[in-house]
């Protein structure tokens, strides 16, 4: 069955369980990053297969930027743009980048990213919180990329972030969710949507994020750098759907030892 044949059924499932974010309603719980995409054709097919309605983009010096074709593709796909502040290392840089992105993309939504370490690209919590507070005060809808620290997550929600987006593991690492307990604790700690952002390697990671209580998943490399991005995009979409069903259905408690599922009563003596 092809991706397009599957889409109507998936759309019906998704529509029955919408995702509310900053007063907007989304059918899809999958946010897609464009970073690492090999071509515009691949991007368009991956966006369709993923069913995403919210796609991240970035700003760079004009001579290093992609051609205007990317935005044409995204316009055609009918997705909403979510500019990021990737590469910023201080609150000052991130606030200025968000303002520039608002000018360029005409949206006050921003994926706020303030990096504190070159090797791991881990967020700098101090600069992040400072930038978040300033941007909220300027009327931005701030989706904060953060560590999986539940206390920092709560502080970001307290200053008015529209969503808290903890990493599963470092950006582009594909290491999955290294501390599922923290993700579940963070989910408990805040009332705003939690979006698992960064570290997703394959479909089971996305399903786990949703099973842990995340409201949505943001991923880029796992799809754009997969051998077959369109297929992986569909896998992620179905993983999010499966995770959501499982979360709603209620998993069984974990036990140390076995609990037989076949009754012992009536066991013959042979």
Residues forming the site for other proteins (CB under 8 A): 33-37, 43, 56-68, 70-71, 84, 86, 96, 99-101, 103-106, 171-172, 198, 218, 220-221
For other proteins, which is the closer residue by CB, 59 or 190?
59
Phi-psi category of 106—alpha, beta or left, where left has phi over 0 and alpha has psi -120 to 50? left
Q: Nearest approach, Cβ of 67 to other proteins (angstroms)?
A: 8
Q: Nearest approach, Cβ of 35 to other proteins (angstroms)?
A: 4
For other proteins, which is the closer residue by CB, 43 or 184?
43
Q: Nearest approach, Cβ of 69 to other proteins (angstroms)?
A: 10
Q: How far apart are the first and last CA of the chain?
A: 48
Cα–Cα dist 16/260, whole Å: 36
For other proteins, which is the closer residue by CB, 58 or 186?
58
Determine whether 256 is exposed, middle or buried from the number of CB atoms within 10 Å of its CB (0-12, 13-18, 19+): exposed
Q: φ, ψ for residue 153 (rounded to 5)?
A: -55, -45
Nearest to 110 by CA among 183, 52, 57: 57
Q: Nearest approach, Cβ of 224 to other proteins (angstroms)?
A: 8
Q: Nearest approach, Cβ of 32 to other proteins (angstroms)?
A: 9
Provide the 3-class DSSP secondary structure of residue 20. Answer: strand
CA 97 to chain centre: 21
For other proteins, which is the closer residue by CB, 10 or 146?
146
Catalytic residue (choose from 29, 102, 111, 155) = 111
For other proteins, which is the closer residue by CB, 58 or 189?
58
Determine whether 92 is exposed, middle or buried from the number of CB atoms within 10 Å of its CB (0-12, 13-18, 19+): middle
Annotated catalytic residue 64: no
Cα–Cα dist 165/147, whole Å: 8
Q: Which residues are catalytic?
A: 111
């Amino acid at each position: 069955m092809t991706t397009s044949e599957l889409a109507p059924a998936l759309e019906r499932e998704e529509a029955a369980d919408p995702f509310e974010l900053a007063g907007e309603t989304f059918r899809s719980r999958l946010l897609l990053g464009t970073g690492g995409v090999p071509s515009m054709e691949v991007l368009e097919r991956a966006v369709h297969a993923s069913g995403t309605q919210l796609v991240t983009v970035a700003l760079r010096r004009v001579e290093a930027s992609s051609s205007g074709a990317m935005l044409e593709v995204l316009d055609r796909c009918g997705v909403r743009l979510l500019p990021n502040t990737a590469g910023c290392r201080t609150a000052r840089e991130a606030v200025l980048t968000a303002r520039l992105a608002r000018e360029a993309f005409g949206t006050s939504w921003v994926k706020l990213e303030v990096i504190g370490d070159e090797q791991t690209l881990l967020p700098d919590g101090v600069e992040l919180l400072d930038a978040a507070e300033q941007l909220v005060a300027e009327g931005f809808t701030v989706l904060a990329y953060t560590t999986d620290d539940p206390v920092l997550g709560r502080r970001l929600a307290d200053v008015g972030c529209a969503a808290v987006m903890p990493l599963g593991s470092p950006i582009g690492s594909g290491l999955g969710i290294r501390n599922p307990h923290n993700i579940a604790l963070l989910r408990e700690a805040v009332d705003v949507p939690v979006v698992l952002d960064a570290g997703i390697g394959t479909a089971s990671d996305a399903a786990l994020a949703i099973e842990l209580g995340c409201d949505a998943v943001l991923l880029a490399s796992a799809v754009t750098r997969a051998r077959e991005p369109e297929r992986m995009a569909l896998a992620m979409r179905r993983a999010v759907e499966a995770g959501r069903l499982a979360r709603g259905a209620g998993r069984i408690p974990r036990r140390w030892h076995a609990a037989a599922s076949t009754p012992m009563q009536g066991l013959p003596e042979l």
